[in-house]
Amino acid sequence: MYSCVSHPQVQLALENALEVGPRLVGMDLQIVQQLARVLMDSHGLEQWDLVFDRARRRAGMTRYNDQIISLSRPLMQLYDEKQVRDVVLHEIAHARVGTGHGHDEMWKKEARRLGTPPRASITEGPRAPAPYVGRCPNGHDVERYRLPRGVRSCATCSKIFDHRYLLTWYRVNAVDGTKIQPSSLNARGR
């Protein structure tokens, strides 16, 4: 398995990150950028660009036409070094096999060759918190990354729409977890 930790700049950045202190999981974006750049360059993607995006459900994306590997800023800040490396190598495998392969056998073979698990998504690990939570009268919570339009009911309480189980939506503060009351949310529109 290829590891970029042997690269002096990345090794130093990782050591400095560990000395910083109480951060239990997650990496600094500057270190993520250095790690990704070293991996990309060492696997023949020197001409490709690296960008960060706001995605919360997918960790990475390969844009073949633009020669860009895009990483999720929120998720990279939650992932540890191994998870970040696996995401970057996953995207490098996509770039190397080219468009039209998705997660087929050719892509899986390249992912294995690069030293990353040949799977379509990360199933374990931290998730970016959803900014909206809907709560039904029975206390079931539903997370959403966008505020739903229209009225929704709880799918746990009833498989079909039922007025008895309407969801009340709250916006969750990402810093302290507090919820904005529904009246405030509706007054602001979002």
Q: Which of 85, 68, 80 is nearest to 34 (CA)?
A: 85
Q: What is the pLDDT of residues 41-91, one digit of tens each?
A: 999 999 999 999 998 889 999 999 999 999 999 899 999 999 999 999 999
> What's at 2, amino acid-wise?
Y
Can you give the three-state secondary structure of 87-126, one letter per residue? HHHHHHHHHHHCCCCCCCHHHHHHHHHHCCCCCCCCCCCC
pTM assigned to the model: 0.68
Cβ contacts of residue 96 below 8 Å, gap of 6+? 43, 44, 45, 110, 114
Task: Quickly state the pLDDT bin for 24 (edges 50, 70, 90).
Answer: very low
Look at residue 187 in the predicted model and tell me its pLDDT: 42
- The continuous run of DSSP H or E covering 74 comes out as helix 73-76
Which domains are present in the chain? 4-114 (3.30.2010.10), 132-188 (no CATH)
| DSSP code at position 64 | T
- Over residues 169-181, the pLDDT tens digits come to 988 876 566 777 6
